[in-house]
Amino acid sequence: MISTNNPIGIFDSGIGGLTLAKAIHEKFPKESIIYFGDTAHLPYGDKSEAAIQAYSIKITDLLLQMGCKVIVIACNSASSASYELLKEYVGNKAFVINVIDPMVQFVATQLPDKKIGLIGTKRTVQSAIYQKKITEIKKDGVIHALATPLLAPMIEEGFYNSQISHEIIWNYLSDNTLNSIDVLILACTHYPLIKNEISEFYQNKVTVLDSTQIIVHELERYLKTNHLLSNSLAPELSFLVSDYTESFEASTQIFFNKKVNLKWHPLWN
């Protein structure tokens, strides 16, 4: 049975999804959170759909065993490969939120006449999932998508607001695919960290959208509608990873604004 003080489960290929975990924690400080970063298999952006599906099912199984009332797929690559499968797998045991549908809904309804660009991992872009989903809502909707595979590892190594990130970002965004766009979707949970640099490239003339607040809003809507907001006075935060290194732990600072303790979980052993 789902009950109010059960935790919210969040997973990502690694620690980039902590950007979303942080926003969820700030908005809902009474919620317990179990974050799972599949650091043993990162990056997901270069993996096959079948591999990501297998990882996602196993992680979801763990989060269900730990009693999660909601499972947030804090990764575009995993959302594109596994959302439908996970929804079916989880059934009515928990609610599954992906990072793609709420964003597509937002641009299709709130920005219907704008030229939309998108950057993300190879997996997300090759899946053409944003294009498919926007067409379901708006028949003539078009998303101009460009794979930018260097950006996630670049950020994870701490290169943002730097000369190196400037060069790489400028190089990618100069691609013809993104010519004269009005809006750019950041389709990767690492990218909020370079949002300012991207806006700078466009001299603030392009609306740069990351899904963080859109997802927090979607989660709030679900928790309120289903009377599942926690009233716990002692919420717990736990951060699990499938491969532990000190460098992963140090990088949590980048994404969560403070260093958190990562705990190795033997999911693959």
| Residue ranges in contact with ligand DGL by CB under 6 A | 12-14, 16-17, 42-45, 75-77, 121, 124, 152, 188-190
CB 5 to ligand DGL: min, Å: 28
Give min distance, CB of 158 to ligand DGL, in A. Answer: 15
Distances from the Cα of 241 to the Cα of 12, 42, 66, 96, 237, angstroms: 10, 11, 15, 20, 13
Instruction: State the minimum distance, in angstroms, from the CB of residue 213 to ligand DGL.
Output: 16
**Is the CB of 75 or the CB of 209 nearer to ligand DGL?**
75
Residue of 118, 169, 188, 208 marked catalytic:
188
Inter-residue contact 187 to 143 (CB < 8 Å): no
- Calculate the dihedral angle through the C-alpha atoms of 168, 174, 176, 181, rounding to the nearest 10 degrees: 110
Closer Cβ to ligand DGL, 12 or 197, answer by number: 12
75 in catalytic set: yes
Among 62, 75, 187, 198, the one annotated catalytic: 75
Nearer to ligand DGL, 134 or 188 (CB): 188
Report the alpha-carbon distance of residue 63 to residue 242 in Å, rounded.
13
Q: Three-state DSSP class for 147?
A: strand
Beta carbon of residue 11, minimum distance to ligand DGL (angstroms, whole number): 10
Give how far Cα 232 sits from Cα of 6, 7, 30, 109, 124, Å.
Answer: 9, 10, 6, 36, 36
> Is 68 designated active site?
no
Active site residues: 75, 188
